[in-house]
């Protein structure tokens, strides 16, 4: 048994196991329809964002996780490098990113439930909103019991509801083309070149920021490799190939089966199953696959319900969160934060239900990505600052290339985050959200900006207001801190 240097009794992670952990936290079904709308050019987009976004995140989290592996994750890294105020902003953005993201993944889960009954219900707000809220609150109450049962359910959901349907979609697309059926998207090599003639034509692709995020929750495990300098780059390369391949092939499969004008962002993968099963007379299998997808989506929701709240609770130890939000039950679960989170998600889901479903899915996903980009920008800068402030801290893995290497990685990552935030504020091209445009009328561009920009600004301003009004008594007594060592990434490891 290989062992880690810092804990002789702890089994070391192989590069393959570590790569699977990275893959499991990033990959999902809900992002396939958005990328599918770009046809074959999605290949180019995915490769581009993997280079300027996913790889920098991976390398930076590897160095930070290896040098500062203690409890706190993103909060600890930013606090050590940039101070408590910006650390609170960073962990707040991590939490709010997930809160804003919930309505879209809830819509995806509810659409899967609809396909178990009647696919027409997948686009009906009177069905989507109440069922979404029931799913969310059941998942929230389940987390009140602690991490054990939620860990079991999310593990089942990962394999049954994400990996299996994803691989099946890809196999279906290959068989569909091999059997002589027509693709709904052009597959000639010339279509690899994307149309970027205007900002509006690429705005929707920025949702990929949400689909390639979340790696930092597994960063603590980078120190558990036997030879970090070799194992971490190898694990990153393996996960990079798997994530890119599966995401590209999955999105292409959706594009092959469903034409852009009929594509629903909240139910694209299910439309693939519907088209395939209808063609070959397997209609009975649609509810079965829909149930698998629903299980996977609900499992994804369960794991993310408690994870970000636990990360935010680390900030509570520094006295930046009001005492009433620090309350935990006997299972050690931060129930107050979960209830506040539930209230916010309920309001957002109801608001999303008043909008065009496709547009609502797109807007909340874009805002979620914008908020996450703020956190990542802070993380990139903190990594560079820590190289200067604490050069003597032992890091079992460092970004290769010396000072040039870290400046290149941090520079590319930070610039990508800034550009992504700015571009996300622009409305999409008229052909991207035609349903929203028809519903909103001539003022659709103003309404689009009215939804995205204020939501983003409010989320960013609130933590500064809370921090400005913090009080000394907000910090919990020292004797209680030892009883609250619930590690978010440990939960992630149990699940994946």
Angle at 216 between CA 215 and CA 218, to 5 degrees: 80
Assess if residue 8 is contained within a domain.
no
pLDDT at residue 433 in the model:
53
Confidence of residue 490 (pLDDT cuts 50, 70, 90): very low
**Residue 5 resides in a domain:** no
The model's pLDDT over 108-118, given as tens digits with 9 standing for 90+, comes to 889 899 999 98
- Are 313 and 334 in contact, with CB atoms under 8 Å apart? yes
Nearest to 124 by CA among 267, 259, 255: 267
280 lies in some domain: yes
- Examine residue 411 and state whether it is found in any structural domain, yes or no: yes
For 314-350, how does the pLDDT look when each residue is reduced to its tens digit (9 = 90+)?
Answer: 777 778 877 777 777 776 677 888 888 889 899 988 8
Residue 366 lies in a domain: yes
Does 58 fall in a domain?
yes
pLDDT tens for 166-199 read: 889 999 999 999 998 889 888 898 989 988 877 8
Q: What is the pLDDT of residues 345-366, one digit of tens each?
A: 999 888 877 777 667 777 888 8
- pLDDT above 70: percentage of residues in the chain: 83
Query: What is the rounded CA–CA span in Å between residue 242 and residue 421?
Result: 27
Inter-residue contact 231 to 14 (CB < 8 Å): yes
Q: Tell me the per-residue pLDDT of 136-169, one tens digit each, with 9 for 90 and over.
A: 998 888 777 655 555 566 667 777 888 888 889 9
Domain count along the chain = 1
CA 98 – CA 136 distance, rounded (Å): 13
Q: If you compute the radius of gyration of the chain from its CA atoms, what whole number of angstroms results?
A: 22
- Rounded to whole angstroms, the Cα distance separating 108 from 103 reads 9
Mean pLDDT of the chain: 80
pTM of the predicted protein model? 0.82
182-209 core/surface letters (b: 16 or more CB in 10 A; e: else): ebbbeeeeebeebeeeeebbbbbbbbbb
- pLDDT category at 487 given cuts 50, 70, 90 is very low
How far apart CA 258 and CA 416 sit, in angstroms, is 31
Q: Which two tokens stand for residue 117?
A: 């009954």
Alpha carbon of 443 to those of 202, 409, 449: distances in Å?
20, 40, 10
Residue 303 within any structural domain of the chain: yes
Q: Which residues constitute the domain of residue 342?
A: 17-495
Residues 6+ apart with CB under 8 A from 441: none
Contact (CB, 8 A) for 347 and 133: no
CATH of the domain at 412: 1.20.1740.10
More confident residue, 423 or 32: 423
Do the domain assignments include residue 231?
yes
461 vs 89: CA distance, rounded Å: 9
Residue 442 has a pLDDT of: 57
């Amino acid at each position: 048994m290989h062992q880690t240097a810092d804990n002789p009794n702890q089994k070391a992670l192989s590069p393959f196991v570590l790569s699977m952990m990275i893959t499991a936290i990033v990959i999902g079904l809900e992002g396939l329809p958005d990328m599918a709308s770009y046809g074959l050019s999605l290949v180019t987009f995915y490769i581009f964002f993997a280079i300027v976004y996913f790889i920098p995140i991976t390398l930076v989290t590897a160095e930070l996780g290896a040098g500062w592996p203690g409890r706190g994750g993103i909060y600890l890294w930013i606090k050590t490098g940039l101070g408590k105020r910006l650390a609170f902003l960073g962990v707040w953005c991590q939490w709010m990113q997930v809160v804003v993201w919930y309505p879209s993944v809830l819509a995806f889960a509810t659409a899967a439930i609809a396909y178990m009954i009647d696919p027409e219900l997948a686009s009906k707000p009177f069905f989507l909103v109440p069922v979404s809220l029931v799913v969310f609150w059941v998942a929230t109450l389940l987390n009140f019991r602690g991490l054990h049962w939620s860990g079991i359910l999310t593990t089942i959901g990962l394999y049954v509801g994400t990996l299996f349907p994803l691989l099946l979609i890809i196999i279906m697309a290959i068989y569909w083309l091999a059997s002589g059926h027509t693709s709904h998207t052009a597959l000639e090599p010339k279509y690899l070149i994307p149309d970027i003639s205007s900002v509006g034509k690429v705005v929707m692709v920025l949702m990929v920021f949400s689909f390639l995020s979340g790696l930092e929750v597994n960063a603590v495990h980078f120190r558990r490799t036997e030879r970090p300098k070799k194992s971490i780059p190898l694990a990153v390369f393996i996960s990079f190939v798997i994530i890119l391949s599966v995401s590209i092939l999955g999105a292409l499969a959706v594009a092959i089966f469903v034409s852009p004008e009929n594509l629903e962002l909240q139910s694209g993968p299910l439309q693939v199953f519907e088209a395939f099963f209808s063609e070959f007379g397997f209609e009975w299998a649609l509810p079965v696959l829909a149930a698998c997808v629903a299980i996977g989506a609900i499992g994804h929701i369960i794991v993310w319900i408690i994870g970000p709240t636990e990360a935010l609770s680390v900030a509570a130890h520094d006295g930046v969160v009001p005492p009433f939000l620090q309350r935990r039950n006997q299972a050690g679960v931060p129930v107050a934060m979960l209830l506040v989170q539930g209230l916010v998600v309920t309001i957002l889901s109801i608001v999303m239900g008043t909008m065009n479903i496709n547009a609502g899915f797109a807007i909340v996903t874009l805002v979620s990505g914008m908020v996450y980009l703020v956190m990542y920008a802070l993380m990139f800068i903190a990594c560079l600052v820590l190289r200067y402030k604490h050069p003597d801290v032992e890091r079992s893995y460092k970004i290769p290339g010396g000072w040039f290497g870290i400046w290149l990685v941090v520079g590319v990552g930070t610039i990508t985050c800034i550009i992504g935030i700015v571009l996300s504020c622009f409305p999409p091209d008229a052909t991207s959200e035609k349903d929203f445009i028809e519903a909103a009328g001539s003022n659709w561009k103003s309404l689009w900006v009215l939804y995205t920009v204020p939501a983003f600004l409010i989320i960013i301003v609130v933590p500064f207001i809370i921090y400005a009004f913090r009080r000394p008594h907000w910090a919990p007594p020292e004797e209680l801190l030892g009883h609250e060592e619930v590690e978010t990434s440990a939960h992630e490891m149990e699940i994946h």
